[in-house]
Amino acid sequence: MNKTYQAKHELYLSILFASFAVNDEEIKSRLYDFSQIAFRHMKWLGSDILASGNNYNYDRNMMLYKRDSVFEIIEALVNEVKKIQAIYPDSILGERLKTDDTYLLEYLRQVLENKTNNKEVTAFNIKREWLDRNLAQDQIDALTMFLFEESYKEYELILVYAFMQARTKDATQFNVFQDLIDESHFHLKSFGNMMAKLGILALPRELHELTYVIKDLEKFVVDGIAEEEAAKVMCKELSDAIKDEELSKFFDFINYQESYHIELMKKLL
């Protein structure tokens, strides 16, 4: 079952980063929705594994390959979805996973059927230009560093909070973890799309088991609050450094959200 869980984790990332890479807003939105369905699949698979007395981890064995066109991305997804269907469990859950994937394949087929969808993909061109704005190099560098660091942090938090949520029987903890997972999904989506616009889209690094197997919840929360405080400082510095009103306001917005994350985490204490 852990093999199935790993394959679903990898498929979740493949769909998610395909949504970041594609420029067409309609396809991007639909792929992102399917990535969230895949994440729920991970949750359900994890619950089944724990209920059977076993465990799972966040090991993965995948790469984010540079693709030059939308159809290259979609065709790779089709192959990955077809491959995973053979290892789903023979159960009610397995049937749900298969039927969800069947509809995903149908949607991907529809995209491939329309040749006008086959646009150029610029998410990997490493141009590091922000739309039509002429941001100074030091601003681009600061933005690049922030996006790489924070996209990993949000990916890490999604998985860590999900790992702990699956193991708690405390309603307050469960609800706080869900809020933090939802918030981190939004942040990862925002940062991933920004990385794609800069042409620097890349997978966050893999998590080590010591990152998510939490033995001291209180220490984890205290450290997490300090991490959120550091993220607030980075957001404020970036907002002040970037001479673009739209970007500055966005990072102010993220900064204020991080403030509430700290309050949510204080509930855990």
Count CB neighbours of 154 within 10 A: 22
- Nearest alpha-carbon partner for 200 in 267, 98, 269, 127: 127
Residues of the chain with pLDDT below 70 are none
The pLDDT of residue 178 is 96
Q: Are residues 108 and 218 in the same domain?
A: no
Residue type, 261: H
Q: Are residues 56 and 71 in the same domain?
A: yes
DSSP string covering 125-177, please? Answer: S-----TT----HHHHHHHHHHHHHHHHHHHHHHHHHHHHHTT---HHHHHHH
Boundary (domain end) residue, out of 68, 94, 121: 121
At 105, is the secondary structure helix, strand, or coil?
helix
Q: Are residues 43 and 112 in the same domain?
A: yes
Residue 43 belongs to a domain with what CATH number?
1.20.1260.10
- Nearest alpha-carbon partner for 121 in 65, 172, 58: 65
Q: Are residues 154 and 251 in the same domain?
A: yes
Residues β-bridged to residue 140: none
What is the domain count for the chain?
Answer: 2
The pLDDT of residue 233 is 86
Are 94 and 85 in contact, with CB atoms under 8 Å apart?
no
Q: Are residues 27 and 81 in the same domain?
A: yes
Q: Are residues 144 and 216 in the same domain?
A: yes
The pLDDT of residue 244 is 86
Q: Are residues 98 and 128 in the same domain?
A: no
Boundary (domain end) residue, out of 86, 121, 156: 121
pLDDT digits (tens, 9 = 90+) for 35-47: 999 999 999 999 9
Q: Are residues 159 and 47 in the same domain?
A: no
Q: Are residues 103 and 165 in the same domain?
A: no
Q: Are residues 184 and 214 in the same domain?
A: yes
The pair phi, psi for residue 120, each rounded to 5°, is -70, 145
The pLDDT of residue 131 is 84
At 201, is the secondary structure helix, strand, or coil?
coil
Q: Are residues 49 and 146 in the same domain?
A: no
Residue 111 domain boundaries:
1-121
Are 213 and 164 in contact, with CB atoms under 8 Å apart?
no
Boundary (domain end) residue, out of 87, 121, 155: 121
Residue type, 104: L
Q: Are residues 109 and 83 in the same domain?
A: yes
